[in-house]
Structure 1
Amino acid sequence: MDTAMEGSPSNRWLSLKQASALLGVHPATLRRWANRGEIPVFFTPGGHRRFALEDLIRFTQARRQAGALVGPDQGWTSRALSHTRSKLTAQPPHWLAAFSEADREHKRALGRRLMGVLLQYLNLGEDEDESTAALIAEARAIGQEHARNAIRLGLPLATAVEAALFFRDALLEVALQLPEGMPVRMEAHTRLTQRINRVLNEVQLSVIRTYESEAFR
């Protein structure tokens, strides 16, 4: 379905090239799927295709349920989202009560941004380049926003770190369990875990640095 692109703070927009890389298909294949209405596509005022991260995640989940082949990155993504929601619902952590509904929506938005960073980073090549630097900078910005929100609420650093660790643990738990549920080569699984760790480390360090520079002055 081709529609005019509407800006939304909850969506992470990807180009045709980025979206096809995330799905592990040729851009022509993704363009064909979009033309058939199998996945939503939006257009910028300049006529460039854009795909919402949430639509790509839903599309990947649907393909997995239908038995379509997906790579370890996509398998981890769908499982990570489900696992995190289950953990929050089954046993809500004590720090969750400190956040209002507006604060929780802010955290959900940060989570969507983080998933976007992870998905893009997982699909980059091995060489360090400007794209890598931009994604690492975005991970740090996410950590900074989380810390500033916690500082505004008067939460101690330990609580802010504990909240960040909750999501870190949920994401890594799925990455470590992934080989049990789907056929993934060991080298691909190692690369997946290393890259997830690097991004999450940057988020964690940014939380601490923000407290040091803004809360402990």
Structure 2
Amino acid sequence: MEPSNNETWLTLSEAAGLLDVHPTTLRRWANNGDIPVMVTPGGHRRFAASDLARFARERSALRNVNGFAGLWATKALARTRQDVSVHRHESWMAYFDEEGRSQTRLLGQQLMGLTLQYLSSESNEENSASILEEARRIGRLYARNCMARGLPLRMTLEASIFFRDSLIETALQLPETANIRPEANIRLLRRVNAILNAVHLAVADVYEHGGDVIPAVE
């Protein structure tokens, strides 16, 4: 992760204090790829204030969604990390260097946080619409990242479907692993599908227009 002149960077202890967790916990999150981290030439960890703010919002969203949605999110995150480890030799993964993987991982984390917000905003149509637009923005950024590395549309969609399958399969298994009413799980699946559909359509738009639909700065 490259440092930015416009970013505020915090030490491990400062960042842990900001998130109100023990430094060991934050170190584990960073090692798992849950939060971006920059390592200085001297081997010290630095955390961007903007990444910490985003991570705090996602944790807050996870606490605020109702029980079964929070359970889904926890299981989905664990399954995604496991699936990435098992399928790390997929052909599309070979296109990504460390920077590309870091960018894609960050977009995935942003999308998960956005999905949690979407699940908790079911009764607020205006907020739901703005969240779907943000999902489209993430889809455009993801497509641009893939195009820059020479991925054809098919492989780009394979990678996004890989992520989608982890989220959907986790939801499908919830009634088997938790006491969840089928109708509640159906509502969750519909909301998850809606936000992932927005991402996939945005990806297709970018490839169809050769990247022209992406603003110069996002």
Partner of 2:209: 213
Task: Give, in whole Å, the separation in 1 of the partners of 2:79 and 2:105.
Answer: 14
Q: Indicate if the aligned counterparts of 2:19 and 2:52 stay in contact, CA closer than 8 A.
A: no
Shift of 1:187: 2.1
1:23 to 2:63 alignment: yes
Counterpart code for 1:115: M
Partner of 2:121: 124
Q: Equivalences for 1:74-89 in 2 at 5 Å?
A: 74-89=70-85
Q: Counterpart amino acid of 2:93?
A: L
1:7-156 matches, cutoff 5 A: 7-9=49-51, 12=54, 19=60, 22-24=62-64, 71-92=67-88, 93-129=90-126, 131-156=127-152
Residue identity matched to 1:128: E
Deviations along 1:3-44, one digit per CA (max 9) or x if unpaired, are 4996233652566xx93x64248xxxxxxxxxxxxxxxxxxx
> Which secondary structure state, in structure 1, belongs to the residue aligned with residue 123 of structure 2?
coil
Between the aligned residues of both structures, percent identity stands at: 40
The answer as to whether partners of 1:23 and 1:74 remain within 8 angstroms in 2 is yes
User: Unaligned regions of 5+ residues in structure 2, if any?
Assistant: 1-15, 21-47, 214-218
Q: Aligned pair count? A: 170
The answer (yes or no) to whether the contact 2:135–2:195 under 8 Å persists in 1 is yes
Taking structure 1 as the reference length, the TM-score comes to 0.70
User: Partner letter of residue 106 of structure 1?
Assistant: Q
Q: Give the direction of change, closer, same or farther, for the CA distance of 1:10–1:90 in structure 2 (3 Å limit).
A: farther
2:160 is matched with which residue?
164
RMSD: 2.7
- Counterpart of 1:193 (choices 189, 195, 212) is 189
Q: Pick closer, same or farther for the CA change 1:197–1:145 going to 2, 3 Å.
A: same
Shift in alpha-carbon separation, 1:183–1:95, aligned structure 2, 3 A: same
Amino acid at match of 1:7: A
Q: 1:101 to 1:108 in 2, by over 3 A?
A: same
- Give 1:128 deviation, angstroms: 1.5
The CA distance in 1 between the partners of 2:52 and 2:187, in whole Å, is 28
For 1:152 and 1:127, how far apart are their aligned partners in 2? 36
Q: Distance in 1 between matches of 2:103 and 2:212?
A: 24
| 8 A contact 2:72–2:171 mirrored in 1 | yes
User: Counterparts of 1:212 and 1:12 in 2: how far apart (Å)?
Assistant: 31
Give TM-score, length-normalised by structure 2: 0.70
Residue 12 of structure 1 contacts residue 112 of structure 1 at CA under 8 Å; is this kept in 2?
no
Question: Distance between the aligned counterparts of 1:118 and 1:136, measured in 2?
Answer: 9
Structure 1 unaligned regions, length at least 5:
26-69
CA contact (8 A) 1:147 1:211 kept: yes
**TM-superposed deviation, 1:91:** 2.6
Please, which of 170, 180, 195 is the counterpart of residue 184 of structure 1? 180
The residue matched to 1:184 in structure 2 has which SS?
Answer: coil
Q: Is residue 10–residue 112 contact of structure 1 (8 Å, CA) maintained in 2?
A: no
User: Is the CA contact 1:10–1:109 (under 8 Å) kept in the aligned structure 2?
Assistant: no
CA distance 1:80–1:13, change in 2 (3 Å): closer
